[in-house]
Amino acid sequence: MLAVGETAPDFPVTLSSGQRIALADYRGKNPVVLFFYPADFTQGCTQQACAFRDSYAALKET
């Protein structure tokens, strides 16, 4: 588990478009938020996803 402000280890991912990116591609350029959505159609995950969506403007300002 990472603490707030701690540097995350680099890892590659494949986007739904098929493009491969790595966390290091964004390091030092833009803030990065890692958001994990573990289960669809569950009340808790849906509420958290909606709260994240609703907080986007405030997160973007920081």
Identified catalytic residue from 16, 23, 39, 45: 45
Q: What is d(CA 7, CA 5) in angstroms, rounded to the nearest whole number?
A: 6
Backbone angles phi, psi at 13, to 5 degrees: -140, 160
Q: Estimate to the nearest angstrom the gap between the alpha carbon of 23 and the chain centroid.
A: 10
> Is 45 tagged catalytic?
yes
Residues with catalytic roles: 45
